[in-house]
Amino acid sequence: MKRNWLNYLPTLFVISIIISLIAYTSQGTSDRMNYSEFRKVAKTAEFGDTTMEIDSTIIKVNGTYTKNADSKNKSEQSKKQFSVIVPNTEANQEWLEKTLTDDGGEISVSDPSSGNTWITILANIIPLVILAIFFYYMFMHMGGSSNNKAFDFAKSRAQMEQNVKTRFKDVAGCEEEKEEVKEIIDYLRSPKRFTDMGAHIPKGILMVGPPGTGKTLLAKAVAGEANVPFFSISGSDFVEMFVGTGAGRVRDMFKNAKKAAPCIIFIDEIDAVGRQRGAGMGGGNDEREQTLNQLLVEMDGMTDNVGIVVIAATNRPDILDPALLRSGRFDRRITVSLPDVKGREAILKVHARNKKLADNVELHNLAARTPGFSGADLANVLNEGAILAVRNHEKQITMEDLDEAIDRVMMGPAKKSKTYNENDKRLVSYHEAGHAVIGLKLEDAEKVQKVTIIPRGEAGGYNLMTPKEEKYFHRKSELLAQITGLLGGRTAEQLVFGEVSAGAVNDIEQLTKIAKNMVRVYGMSSLGPIQYADPQGNVFLGRDYTQGNSYSDGIAGEIDREVRKIVDECQKKCTKILTENRSLLDLIAGSLYEHETLTNEEIMNLMNYGTIENPNAPQEDDAKPAPIIDEPAEPEEKEPEEEENDKEPEKPAGVNQQDLDDAFNELTKRKD
């Protein structure tokens, strides 16, 4: 963008002042005298060549003179320039002629009317013009700038990108979503095919999904594949404190888009301006609703196949105004959900293009270890791994770096400087071991991938557990297994130490939420398939405050009893599993106490062989480590209820506190 020439005015003004000062200082030897002073100086001075400019009333005299000409000391004599104005009389003309020529000087007379009148006028006007422009500039950039910008408020804030470089190959993990927008690309490339068939291309596409799933990236890829301009703006850019500003920006945005058609308008976080109207107290004639009204009018006023496609993104579709979602405005709704294991692997491959990965890095295993991660989370994992590799002065990113990166993204950096005392360390070891045993022995529980007692974030330790297979729906038995697994740590504390700690606060929060959803949302209780859930989403001021619960106080009491019943049953089952597998619990807790971190392979070895190392594994130096995800085949086990008929359960009476203390002392000596 070219700079305004007024921006150079202060520099020119400063330069002119400097030149004036230099010119003024260069005239330091020149005297500007009045008539009386000149009469006194003329008595002792010797005049050289002079110039007289005779006007009708005055005589301008310029020349040189030698001061103190009568002095014998040459150092006291000095030659200077002078200028004086003398009244124009005959006596003064005669006196000047005699005085200025007595010492041999010559007089030259000039006519003032013979000079260039325009030069004189410009010499007097130009400084005034420069001063006027300078003060105008200062006023516009200081005092008047805010008023001047008031005319720019109604202009669109949408940023236009002409040559979009993003393509579908840069968007992974959403193949079905790509198929939904392919006809948009075909229409923008060759609209005649659709108009000949009488088809109307969708005016608007609403992309819905959790944050970080690639909604913005997919919209930009559509523009890149179609090779059309891409206007991008956030919903919050429309709303200002001045009334009518947002509506004006909407009009200006569509006006610019029509000039650049065919093109794509992308509105990110449209819920900032597209919330339901009429939800406020005291009327709805506010700035946000006026902006939404103008957006509705502009989209409704777009003629079919005009060449403009509006794509909007949000993760809160439940609060959008119904008029915005009707056919004719946002005709199509695309859900961009979290990627599955294949999608995560494809996303990792996209973000690993410029990464130097070691040979032991398997992106498939990494994808299997990151269920629930969005595309942004996966990109962050690879970036954190690269940062760790640089920090460790490594030439390539290893699997250990990526394993640590996953932990950092999920739980935060490890607090290695934080140390436990012996009692706390034993407590945390049994707490995490309790979670691990439930994951190993309960059929519908999630698979244990990693157990550690190294503090991360606000947690003293954690279990990394992933589902055995990713599902869209969870059965009741799976939800009960999740609650049982969350109770494993607290139950192990009660079983071993006879009391519980506050370390299970997060587990209790999660299992309570699952149990309440089972009763109130999923209908998995004796109350039947009736939903008693509270209103979801944010509260609308003036509307939802007056909305009460959808059930009576009696039903509320039954809900509480059902939630308690579910948790109590899971508690009993958890206690039974840990009691029957007390030896495995002690073994995993002791290994955690000694090694602080156990991987899936080490945990499976402890369960199958009683040691961390597999005694049947090859001992070659170049043997590759087993993948983190793959695990040895677990021997089939019957449910505890079925085993009771075959053999007696393992009795925990043989393990007392003294045996436990001796085992820990032995592990401590071995470590030392």
Binding residues for Zn(2+): 431, 435, 507
81 neighbors 63 (Cβ within 8 angstroms):
yes
- Dihedral of alpha carbons 372, 376, 378, 380, sign: negative
Beta-carbon contacts of 366 under 8 Å, excluding residues fewer than 6 positions away, are: 345, 348, 381, 399, 402, 406
What is the phi/psi pair of residue 17, to 5°?
-65, -40
Strand, coil or helix: 361: coil
Q: How far apart are CA 528 and CA 581, in angstroms?
A: 35
Helix (H) or strand (E) holding 354: none
Q: How far apart are CA 30 and CA 138, in angstroms?
A: 36
What is the phi/psi pair of residue 204, to 5°?
-140, 145
DSSP classification of residue 625:
P
SS (HEC) of 5-24: HHHHHHHHHHHHHHHHHHHH
CA 136 to chain centre: 41
Identity at 658, one-letter amino acid code? Q
CA 345 to chain centre: 24
Instruction: Please count the other Cβ atoms lying within 10 Å of the Cβ belonging to residue 446.
Output: 20
432 classed as catalytic? yes
CA 258 to chain centre: 30
CA 387 to chain centre: 19
DSSP classification of residue 74:
G
Tokens of 272: 């900032």
Closest CA relative to residue 299, chosen from 320, 322, 316, 323: 323
Q: Which residues contribute to the annotated binding site? A: 209-216, 431, 435, 507
Q: CA of 442: how far to CAs of 165, 579, 608, in Å? A: 50, 13, 16
**Residues β-bridged to residue 60:** 53, 85
375 neighbors 211 (Cβ within 8 angstroms):
no
Task: Pick the catalytic residue from 298, 432, 493, 601.
Answer: 432
Ordered DSSP codes for 386-412 = HHHHHHTT-SSB-HHHHHHHHHHHHH-
H helix and E strand count, the chain = 24, 14
Q: CA of 432: how far to CAs of 171, 302, 564, 607, in Å? A: 38, 60, 24, 15
**Residues β-bridged to residue 452:** 462, 597
38, with CB counted inside 10 A (0-12, 13-18, 19+), is buried
Q: Which residues contribute to the annotated binding site for ATP? A: 209-216
Ordered DSSP codes for 442-468 = -TTSPEEEEEE-S-BTTBS-EEEEE-S
Closest CA relative to residue 10, chosen from 125, 18, 2: 18
Pairing of strands 46-54, 58-67: antiparallel
Beta-carbon contacts of 368 under 8 Å, excluding residues fewer than 6 positions away, are: 341, 466, 629
Q: How far apart are CA 246 and CA 293, in angstroms?
A: 10
Tokens of 269: 């976080």
Tokens of 297: 């009018």
Closest CA relative to residue 487, chosen from 574, 396, 410: 574
Residues designated catalytic? 432
